Structure 1
Amino acid sequence: MPFVEEYGPAWVPGPFERGTDGPQLILAGVDGSPTALRAGAYAAGLARRQRSRLVVVYVLSPSAWTGMSPSLLAAAQEQAHSDMIDELRRPIQNLAAEAHISITLEVRRGDAYTELKRVAVTRQADLVVVGASESAGHRLVGSVATRLVRAGLWPVTVVP
């Protein structure tokens, strides 16, 4: 079951203007990494300038170690996830108030690619913004950003 919070004013589409209609819904995938936080800031600026709705998605991915020692590691991981959500919540609330934009924070569990794709399809995102992977291993198996681009369902902006 996803966790969803709404911040800022209710989103209302502006009047149509030929040649200036941009994305109505921008989805930003964040995970707490520096590149993801830059991606969130980029998406927020774009949403403000384009008068778009912004949906920020944080995906909780359980560690492989959690299954080996469910009690201790699961509790520690849940606390870490809860702390990360709190760290994301404060700047999102401030940004929504200062920039006067509608922001939705959605927290999901599972594989980052699968959940970002699911939210983008469900909410009919016009643009997906994610941070570039900082992991060397993703050059071999592909990063979430690469997989989203290959899905070819929406424009994807990858922020370094």
Structure 2
Amino acid sequence: MTGFERGTDGPKVIMVGVDGSDTSLRAAAYAGGLARRQNALLAVVYVQPVMAAGAALGAPVADVTDEIAEGLITEIKDATERVKDIFSVRWEFHTFRGDPYNGLVTAADELKADAVIVGASEQAGHRIVGSVAVRLVKAGRWPVTVVP
């Protein structure tokens, strides 16, 4: 029987998906506190949408999603600066391209996430069709926490 090692049980990598919505930012705050308490790495992930139809029509979609990603990076860095004296959290920011569900699955696999934190969907139709959060839970590959 292997003995208990203090401080080594629990998640090593906590991944949170952010998209700039209020619920995703609440999820990031929750995940940050969890990472601090567990002494885990917080992997903040933004999935940049790929909108082929918009690009085909000549819309500068890639520029817009790049601007969103840059805005989120700035917002997260600013928030981290404000709280760094209160508590320290090791964190990384990652950007993946694709639809939100597949992007988060790819991120969780590549980052070897032990836990996935996401915000609840704010879109009414997702209650019927199923949100990214519900699909992640149904995948059954990681513990998933959905923050309202």
TM-score (norm 1): 0.78
Counterpart contact for 1:55–1:106, Cα < 8 Å: yes
1:119/1:93 CA distance change after superposition, 3 Å: farther
C-alpha distance after superposition, 1:33-90 (max 9, x if no partner)? 1110000000000110111111000111145762353245554454344333322332
**1:99-138 equivalent positions in 2, closer than 5 A:** 99-138=87-126
Following superposition, which runs of at least 4 residues in structure 1 exceed 4 angstroms of deviation? 71-74, 93-98
Partner of 2:142: 154
Gapped runs of 5+ residues in structure 1?
Answer: 1-14
Match of 1:144 among 116, 121, 132: 132
**1:40-51 equivalent positions in 2, closer than 5 A:** 40-51=28-39
Distance 1:57 1:97 in 2: 23
Letter in 2 for 1:102: R
What SS class does the counterpart of residue 67 from structure 2 fall into? helix
The alignment covers a number of residue pairs equal to: 145
Partner of 1:16: 5
TM-score (norm 2): 0.84
Distance 1:80 1:70 in 2: 19
Letter in 1 for 2:111: R
Letter in 1 for 2:130: G
1:28/1:75 CA distance change after superposition, 3 Å: closer
C-alpha distance after superposition, 1:103-150 (max 9, x if no partner)? 010011111111111111122211100000010111222111001000
1:73/1:151 CA distance change after superposition, 3 Å: closer
Q: Which moved more, 1:121-130 or 1:66-75?
A: 66-75
Q: CA RMSD in A?
A: 2.4
Percent of residue pairs bearing the same amino acid type: 46
Q: Which moved more, 1:62-71 or 1:21-30?
A: 62-71
**1:57-96 equivalent positions in 2, closer than 5 A:** 57-63=45-51, 66-72=54-60, 74-95=62-83
1:78/1:26 CA distance change after superposition, 3 Å: closer
